Chain A
């Protein structure tokens, strides 16, 4: 029995970053603000939690500048659960990201839910050992983020609304654009790269794979088991639920039901069963009632 190894441990590699997202597939990542909520999420079968000071619905209600959570909040949540803990940094705020990496967060979400710190540049995520997830509304945006080093994508919805319509719009857009790429001739890829504003080599890869080169979850506005299954059937690899759980009447039951619905997203009988007796969902917001300036999804480019 030999224990001699050639490559004795390369950390923070692309494969290791993308790999953690692959392990989360078919699962639900839940927003939590306290260690107690984190335990409820873990007990319900969440694959990871997003440690926050406030869920998006409360950020939306409070207004003002939303920033990275207090490190104490994140550390206490990390101590409470054994599943991975993610945390949000503002778009372009690479120092918040450095702090989250130093804290030992397992994934950083460079998120439009927080107030952007840079209106032009996102974080250069290739410089970090910790992996990043970023939001996208279309294929070009997704590939620009991957080009900057994002190892996981989430198609954006409109956070904190309990309204799934924007998540559906953007998942359909990304899937349509991936399908369209399959029909293009190789000679046409550079023009399409120009058109999408995305790196040509990533377009070549998407055409070859028939999908994004990283795991793609759905986020923003998912409030029911049926919403989660809808996004899975549209092609999501997994689900982020923000306000949808802890803004509902019975978080533990709803969390578990969304987990079961994500596993059995293609089985309407299971979906019917798990949708029973969950109590009231979070109150929803009609998108057209939101002031354009308060839209979160349009942050980032």
Chain B
């Protein structure tokens, strides 16, 4: 059976993730309220503004509910804003976060919008073909703690990492046709 994966639908590029998950063989559902988390195998926190999404998550009780479901086996994939929200620590900020992956996130770490860029990344876990990656006012992971595996870097900057069923990318695979990152996330949800 196809894993049932939610996309947190508070703000951000939700429809792009829904389509990418469908291409990756998952059943995708939009999540607007906490009760909908109950029967999910996985959850995507999309790209968007991390402060806006974070405030809405706090307001509606997702900050407590998501870690609770994660403890019961739900995998969480955060892209860009989602990466920041999944981290245990955000450099120079006390903004609310889920603390699901032991790492330090750095916000807007590549600069402002004029510094946003596209690059092809080598990601051995995804096969030999380079992965087209879109970075938009992107964060990166400054350092990782125990149990977090680094999967891709730009220079020395960590831009993709995984821990158990959880996954983060600083870039946006949902803005490309390449579904390999979403498939990687979905396949690991099957192995439970």
A residues with CB within 8 A of B: 1-13, 15-16, 19-20, 22-27, 42-48, 82-84, 101, 104, 106-107, 129-131, 259-260, 263-264, 267
Task: List 4 additional contacts besides A9-B118, A19-B136; criterion CB under 8 Å.
Answer: A23-B81, A26-B11, A84-B113, A259-B56
Among A5, A22, A42, A131, the residue within 8 A (CB) of B113 is A131
B80 → chain A closest CB, angstroms = 7
B residues with CB within 8 A of A: 9-16, 32, 47-49, 51-52, 55-56, 59, 80-81, 93, 107-108, 112-122, 124, 130, 132, 134-137, 150, 152-156, 172, 175
Neighbouring A residues of B153 by C-beta, 8 Å: 1, 3
A2 to B150, CA, bound (A): 10
A2 to B55, CA, bound (A): 36
Neighbouring A residues of B152 by C-beta, 8 Å: 3
A42 → chain B closest CB, angstroms = 6
Neighbouring A residues of B56 by C-beta, 8 Å: 45, 259-260, 263
A37 → chain B closest CB, angstroms = 16
Across the two chains, which residue of chain B brings its CB closest to A10?
B118
Neighbouring B residues of A23 by C-beta, 8 Å: 12-13, 47-49, 80-81, 136-137
Say yes or no: A106 contacts B137, CB within 8 Å. yes
B102 → chain A closest CB, angstroms = 18
Enumerate 8 A-B pairs (CB-CB under 8 Å) in ascending A order.
A15-B118, A20-B116, A22-B13, A26-B9, A27-B12, A101-B114, A259-B56, A263-B11
Say yes or no: B52 contacts A27, CB within 8 Å. yes
Neighbouring B residues of A82 by C-beta, 8 Å: 51, 93, 107-108
Say yes or no: A13 contacts B114, CB within 8 Å. no
A130 to B137, CA, bound (A): 12
B54 → chain A closest CB, angstroms = 9
Across the two chains, which residue of chain A brings its CB closest to B130?
A6
Across the two chains, which residue of chain B brings its CB closest to A3?
B153
Say yes or no: A16 contacts B119, CB within 8 Å. no
Across the two chains, which residue of chain B brings its CB closest to A85?
B112
B8 → chain A closest CB, angstroms = 11
Say yes or no: A263 contacts B117, CB within 8 Å. no
A139 to B36, CA, bound (A): 37
A10 → chain B closest CB, angstroms = 5
Say yes or no: B124 contacts A2, CB within 8 Å. yes
Say yes or no: B49 contacts A47, CB within 8 Å. yes
A101 to B132, CA, bound (A): 26
Asked if A12 meets B130 with Cβ closer than 8 Å, knowing A22-B175, A45-B51, A84-B137, the reply is: no
A42 to B154, CA, bound (A): 30
A83 to B152, CA, bound (A): 26
A82 to B54, CA, bound (A): 13
Neighbouring B residues of A101 by C-beta, 8 Å: 114
Neighbouring A residues of B47 by C-beta, 8 Å: 22-23
Say yes or no: B119 contacts A260, CB within 8 Å. no
A185 to B112, CA, bound (A): 43
Neighbouring B residues of A129 by C-beta, 8 Å: 114
Say yes or no: B49 contacts A12, CB within 8 Å. no
Say yes or no: A42 contacts B10, CB within 8 Å. no
A19 to B130, CA, bound (A): 20
Say yes or no: B52 contacts A46, CB within 8 Å. yes
Among B12, B93, B117, B150, the residue within 8 A (CB) of A9 is B117
Say yes or no: B175 contacts A15, CB within 8 Å. yes
Say yes or no: B156 contacts A10, CB within 8 Å. no
Among B10, B81, B124, B137, the residue within 8 A (CB) of A20 is B137
Say yes or no: B134 contacts A16, CB within 8 Å. yes
